[in-house]
Homo-oligomer: A and B are copies of this chain.
Amino acid sequence: MRKFVTDRVRSLLSRSFQHRRYAHLLSSSQSRFLSSAPSMASSSSPTSSSPFPVTCQNINPKVLECEYAVRGEIVTIAQRLQQELQTNQGSHPFDEIIYCNIGNPQSLGQQPITFFREVLALCDHPAILDKSETQGLFSTDAIQRAWQILDQIPGRATGAYSHSQGIKGLRDTIAAGIEARDGFPADPNDIFLTDGASPAVHMMMQLLIRSENDGILCPIPQYPLYSASIALHGGTLVPYYLDEATGWGLEISELKKQLETAKSKGVSVRALVVINPGNPTGQVLAEENQRDIVQFCKQEGLVLLADEVYQENVYVPEKQFHSFKKVARSMGYGEDDISLVSFQSVSKGYYGECGKRGGYMELTGFSADVREQIYKVASVNLCSNISGQILASLVMSPPKVGDESYESYSAERDGILSSLTRRAKTLEEALNKLEGITCNKAEGAMYLFPRILLPEKAIKAAEAAKKAPDAFYCQLLLNATGVVVVPGSGFGQVPGTWHFRCTILPQEDKIPAIVSRLTEFHQKFMDEFRD
């Protein structure tokens, strides 16, 4: 597969990220397929007659360049179809839209963990904590935990701005949770609580990127938050390809090759993004592989940006999540050896509390003066939301054996995780039965990323429709079934290969219907376009 690297790099330029910058740097040729997202040309209108002072011709071009496929064109179409269904029940060959485009479990019916919500409610309205009725409504340990958290907040003021990094007592709890997970020390002063993981990623990109000559090594396929934030901050995405043939393996030789290519083009590579478990690819890295990655970053002086938001989502007994910090520390590497940022979120895991916008980054191996700069940027936004902060402390310190809630908590957690395991397996097997589709195992995370071998006739039809072939497939799928998946071109893929990302999140009772609708659609599609 290595021989395609140059072609890949070149062809990537015409796709969803950084094409203008990379084009400039590598003088690429144009791809024959348009991106599935609205192009700049189509979203810009002539302005000489515009009554508005702000137009697409005079806004920040970095905003124009940025794309975010997970909420891109396909979702806009889906929302329109949903409205049509609401006003006219029989208007489409399906009853409802099933959103498999985004890792948003509770939107598809997953229930929140009761203990977490009890604590949040009590912290929101502490006035009821010592009322007798409260004993009947809330578990004893939730009441205790709420008191404990309130005592960690200066003045028990859950309505006050906190320290810019988050409430110190909650950071203590999170650090203790990291220590328990890794078996290595964690420092609460290394924790920055954030409104989900996204703002943390933005902060790091803002810190590291000075110009388009600064590059960030990103996996391809990648979660488009990375391409979007690199574009918004004006840097260059330096792609490295995961190897689909080895279950989306991450090869050090590929990292080296892409790093050298970037360097030879004058790009100064600042950091390496690794998403583990993988999004959209679902693989869980082996510890040995992680050691090699740590070694590579140390050697090359790269910051390791470790997206570890799916750390609780591992579905195969032969794999385990290891944080990069644990791996680095177990290699004997300390603060002075490697600069490492670990991102965590309350949106994923078995909790799936996306709407709470809680998360944190743990920063190790940065000098005091750089840390001061990061603190300053965090201060400009004052602090992240306190409910999200509390929830981040809860997911890193859930009920323990012996606590009143432990049994119900662990039943809820295990119920969700074992159901996700079954759903991943069912969908993966169903996809692998379809003509021309191959799908790697979802070892972790919340997604399947099947490859579709599209017939030439389908590719031609897509071209005629001015769509990328995978976007064409996804749109026909949506029109026929109401199932929303995201084209692989939104994540990046080896040129000439086509994929889509589908979450494993619809509730289990809906999976058989999804499988049969998908199967029926695919057969018809192939019947229509088979060469």
- Using a CB–CB cutoff of 8 Å, the interface residues on chain A facing chain B are 38, 43-45, 50-56, 58-64, 66-68, 70-71, 102, 104-109, 112, 114, 117-118, 120-122, 124-125, 127-128, 131, 133-134, 136-138, 154-155, 157-162, 164, 195-196, 198-199, 202, 206-210, 225, 228-229, 232-233, 270, 301-303, 336-337, 339, 347, 352-357, 365-367, 369-370, 372-373, 376-377, 379-388
Contact = CB atoms under 8 A, between A and B. Distances in A.
A63 B157 contact: no
Contacts of A352: 159
Nearest to A75: B379
Chain multiplicity (copies): 2
Nearest to A114: B127
Given A207-B60, A373-B63, A385 B382 contact: no
Nearest to A336: B51
A206 B385 contact: no
A196 B195 CA distance: 11
Most chain B CB within 10 A, of A134, A366, A381, A382, is at A382
Most chain B CB within 10 A, of A44, A160, A208, A381, is at A160
Contact of A55 (B105, B125, B367): B367
B339 A52 contact: yes
A347 B198 CA distance: 22
A373 B102 contact: no
Given A124-B117, A209-B60, A210-B60, A383 B355 contact: yes
A37 to B, nearest CB: 9
Contacts of A67: 376
B43 A369 contact: yes
Given A63-B207, A195-B385, A228-B380, A52 B121 contact: no
A161 B107 contact: yes
A51 B370 CA distance: 13
Contact of A53 (B68, B232, B301): B301
Contacts of A164: 71
A377 B63 contact: yes
Given A162-B355, A208-B60, A356-B385, A372 B43 contact: yes
